[in-house]
Amino acid sequence: MLVDHHVGAPALIPSQSEERRRNIDTPRELRRLDPPPLAVGMEGDGLTEEKTVRWRRSEERRLVDKTVLSFYLDDTHPYDRPVDTFRTFVDFVSSEGVRGESSVILGLGAAEHGLLSRPTNAVQEAFIEQLLRTYDCGIDTHMELMTHTGLFDFDSLSVPKGAPHERHWLHEPGVSLESYLSYFSSIIAEGERIGLRFTGVTWPGCGCGECEKRSAALTGDSSLDVNPNVWAALLSLAKQGKFRGCTVPCFTESRNAALQLMAADGSYGVCDFPPNAMDYFGSYDNNPARATADYYIGADGGSGRIVELVRAGAPYCLFYAHWQGINPFDGVGWEVFRQVVRRVNTLLRDRVVWMRPSEYTDQCHPG
């Protein structure tokens, strides 16, 4: 995710009621929250009011004592940094008992580097070696689609000139279920070439003129509605065993304030799982002004976004970061991330539990 299109300011979560906003976002007068609402997705997606109630009761039963803590990490790739950079990150996460997610873009910079799923050099091979141990080290793997730019042609193994960008293609109302199934299946097949299994999907953010113009034409504002066929395609692939687990968490561009079950069939489900804390690990532009541990948790554990959510009894705190800012080689947010993890594990260890995003959605799923 190269552009911050995911969440707004932490004190303004648009779809929440004013009372819930106050409960979550104001340091004073914090109260325990009810489990977050679960919105019913598209018509005919297998969701019922009974399932919604069971999901909410499931969250209340399992997560009432501790707040689940997790993260998304976007734009992870092996290029332009030492070959051991990603290993350093994975080793730290594993050693500290942290759980979260890191996305993969198999076709990022394909014209220059080739496909990561068809490695041709030692840099790619070393990165793949680490990718294949991430799950056992506590890290989910999302496909951030294939290129982060234009739609990839899997026959020519290239991005055709003028190809629609992946970002707004997910929201185009005229795209068929078969088209989404074909594209997602092809990405998954490329991952399988190197033994990689995906757990979920991250939307490829893009701030280029084409995407901004088309997004505005589609919606008239910054809130994009996903084509319902996206959810149906992901559910179909989950039922075919193409994802690692039964539930598929998605980091989308929605302004949802809580976990949303978008499609379901029995034990399988596709979830819009939005973060409720921002990126203050340097963000996509590796900006020192956007790198501070105190945003998440103060030195004494008495303040910060994570602390606010824990005190409010929120079911989860999910933050996100970008590889540009958090990578251990030149990311201004690397030491910030280490500091946040160690503060949390020291000061909040009895009040939080780290989980991968897919662990959380698996536990909450009513199927």
For 202, the enclosing helix (H) or strand (E) is strand 200-202
pLDDT of res. 28: 22
The tens digit of pLDDT for each residue in 109-145 reads 999 999 999 999 999 999 999 999 999 999 999 999 9
Give the max Cα distance, the chain: 59
User: What is the CB neighbour count within 10 angstroms for residue 62?
Assistant: 15
Q: How sure is the predictor about 40, in pLDDT bands with cuts at 50, 70 and 90? A: very low
The tens digit of pLDDT for each residue in 59-116 reads 444 444 899 999 999 999 999 999 999 999 999 999 999 999 999 999 999 999 999 9
Residue carrying structure tokens 């994009």:
224
Q: Is residue 182 over pLDDT 80?
A: yes
Q: How sure is the predictor about 209, in pLDDT bands with cuts at 50, 70 and 90? A: confident
Residue carrying structure tokens 């561009």:
253
Q: How sure is the predictor about 308, in pLDDT bands with cuts at 50, 70 and 90? A: very high
CA–CA separation, 162 and 108 (whole Å)? 17
Q: How sure is the predictor about 14, in pLDDT bands with cuts at 50, 70 and 90? A: very low
The tens digit of pLDDT for each residue in 266-289 reads 999 999 999 999 999 999 999 999
Q: Which domains does the chain have, with CATH numbers?
A: 18-364 (3.20.20.370)
CA distances for 183 relative to 65, 189, 236, 251, angstroms: 41, 10, 13, 18
33-40 long-range contacts, CB within 8 A, separation 24+: 33/312, 33/313, 33/314, 33/315, 34/60, 35/59, 35/60, 35/63, 35/315, 36/257, 36/258, 36/259, 36/314, 36/315, 37/258, 38/258, 38/259, 38/260, 38/261, 39/256, 39/260, 39/261, 40/261
Burial (CB < 10 A; 0-12, 13-18, 19+), residue 28, is exposed
pLDDT of res. 220: 60
pLDDT of res. 307: 97
